Structure 1
C-alpha cells in the first residue's frame, strides 16, 4: 500500500492505472457536428479531437510517464513507462462524408519494405515482424459498427517500435483523420490500445526485476450519446463508453478521462503490484475479460494481447 497525498490509499496497480489515464479537453458541439447528431443530443454535448487526444501522449512519448511505486521495504520510486501504439480501429458514423477524411488526392498506397517494422497489406495477414494498417476498402468489417476508416495492428518487436506519438504522426500521413476526426464522428466501436514498457526509475533501486512489468491498456474514443446508436452491435459496445469515460476538470476546463476499459499484463510481480486487502484481483480479472470480449466482438486478432496472455 502507499499513501497518495496523505489521504487516499492505493495499490501500485491502481497507481499505474491512474497515472496513465489521459484527460482530454472537450469542446461544445459545433454546427458541423450537430448536422450528424440526433436533436436530443445537441444540448450540453461536448466532444474532443483526436489531435488533442494524441497531444496527451507527447511528453510521455519523449520522457515516459512516472508512476509512483511503493517497494516491499516501504521505500518509494517513480517507475517511468513509455507508451507505444499497439492497435487502433476507427469506425466513422455512416452519415459522415468519407471525402472529408479521405481527400481524393490522398491515395492509400499499400506496400511492403523488409527494412521497416511497418508492413502495409491488403489483408489481415502480416509477418511476425510487421504490422497492418488498412481502411474499409482493404479490410471489410461489420456494417453495423459504422464505416471502417482505419485499422493498425503492431507486430514488431518492442525494441523497434517508435513511441506512440511518432507512430500516430507517421500513420496520419496516409490517414489524416487520425488527427482531424472528432470523437462525436466516431462509432462506439472505435478504440485504441497502448503497450507500456518500463525504461527507468528514480531513484534507482536494487530489485529492478520487480519493476519489469509491462502493461497493455485499451481505451474507447467515441463520445456518442445513447440516442445516436444506430445498431444493436453498437449498443453492446456503448455500455463500455458510459461506464469508463468520465467527465473531469483539467486546468479549470472540461475534459474527459479515458480510463482503460481493458488490461493485460506481462512480467507483473503480483506481490509488488497488488494489494491483497483491495479489489485488485477482481479489477485485473474484469479488465482482462473486458479486453478479451471486446476483441472477440469486433473479430480482432490482437498480436500483443495474445503475446501478453501466453507469456
Structure 2
C-alpha cells in the first residue's frame, strides 16, 4: 500500500501520514454514553465515536504482509518509495473496574503471569516499580492495603494486558501473527473498545525498512528505523496531535474512521538529512519534541521500554 505524497509535505510528514492507522469506527448508543467513566470522559457529548481493537489491527494487516509504502524525495530531487514493515514493540491496556470484573480470571492470570516474567527477567527493577506493576491488579486476597492502592489508581485503571518485545528485529514475529497469537489467550485484544480503555492505554510500533522502488543501490539515508507511539483511548479523540489540522479534520469526517497519529517518536540509524531537511528545518525540532514526549510518557507510567532504550541509547552512545 502506497500513500499519496502532497507537494508541500516533507519526508517526515509523509512517513507519519503513511504509517498512521485510520480505524473503522462506530457510534456509541446514547443509552451507553451516560455510563462512561467520567474521569476518562469528562466532557458531555451527544455522540461518541469509538473503535474496537480488532478493527485497529485490521489497519496493519496489509502493512504487516507487504509493508507500508512511503514516497520520499532525495536530496538530488530523485523520488522513490521506501517500504517499512511494522512490528508490535510494546502495548499496555488499562480498563475500568467493570471491564476487569467481566473477565476477572483472564485479567488476573494474564497480569500475574506478566508480573512473574518481570520478576524473573528484570532483577534490577526497583521495588517501587514492582509495586506499580502490581497495584493495578484486581485480587480477592489483596486485603485493605491492596484496596487502597487500587483506589489510588482509579484514574490509571486496571492493567488488563501488557507486552514488551525484546527479540532482535530479525527474530520478531510479524505484527498480525503476534496479535492473533496473543488474542487466543487474551480475547480483549480483539473485543475491547476504545471507550473502555483508560487514557494510560498505549502501544508502540517499530518500523523497519525492507526495500525501496526503484531498486538498484543502497541508500544509507533510508536505513533509518522508527518507533511510533499511539494512544488507544477515546479520551484523546478531541485532541489535535497533528500539525496539519485541516488534514486531520479531513480524516475525521464521519464514515472515514478515527485517525491515531503518533504522539511520540524515536529513531535509530538516522543518517544524512533526508528526514530533517524539510519544513525549513522545523522537522529537526519536531523529531526532538516527539522523542521528548515519548520519554516523558514512559517515565510517567514508570515503564522501561526496551526498544526505546535501544533506539535512544545508540543515538547518544
**Which of the five TM-score ranges fits, normalised by the shorter chain?**
0.7 to 0.9
Residue ranges of structure 2 left out of the alignment (5+ in a row)? 123-132, 140-148, 243-247
Is this contact kept in 2: 1:107–1:174, CA < 8 A? no
Alpha-carbon shift at residue 8 of structure 1 (Å):
3.1
Q: What is the CA deviation profile of residues 132-167 of structure 1, one whole-angstrom value per residue up to 9, with x for unaligned ones?
A: xx9854999871311111111111111111121111
Q: SS at 1:10's partner residue?
A: coil
Q: Which is strand-richer, 1 or 2?
A: 1
Q: Is the 8 A contact 1:33 1:184 kept in 2?
A: no
SS of the equivalent of 1:215 reads strand
Q: CA deviation at 1:48?
A: 0.9
Distance 1:215 1:125, change over 3 A: farther
Aligned to 1:258: 260
Cross-structure match for 1:214: 225
Structure 1 position 189, deviation (Å): 0.5
- The runs of 5 or more residues in structure 1 that have no matched partner are 112-119, 129-133, 225-237
CA distance in 2, matches of 1:158, 1:70: 26
Please tell me the root mean square deviation across aligned C-alpha atoms, in Å: 3.1
Checking the alignment, whether the CA contact within 8 Å between 2:195 and 2:233 is kept in structure 1 is yes
- Structure 1 residue 107, shift from structure 2 partner: 5.3
Kept in 2: contact 1:34–1:42 (CA 8 A) = no
Q: How does 1:216-235 map to 2 (within 5 A)?
A: 216-224=227-235
For the residue of structure 2 that corresponds to 1:242, the secondary structure is: coil
Determine which of 247, 270, 273 is the counterpart of 1:271. Answer: 273
Q: Higher helix proportion, which one?
A: 2
1:163 and 2:184 matched: no
Structure 1 residues 259 and 166: CA distance shift in structure 2, 3 A? same
TM-score computed with the length of structure 1 as normaliser: 0.79
Q: 1:247 to 1:122 in 2, by over 3 A?
A: farther
Aligned length: 279
1:204 aligns to what? 215
Q: CA deviation at 1:103?
A: 5.8
Mapped contact 2:24–2:51 kept (Cα < 8 A): yes
> TM-score, structure 2 length as denominator?
0.78
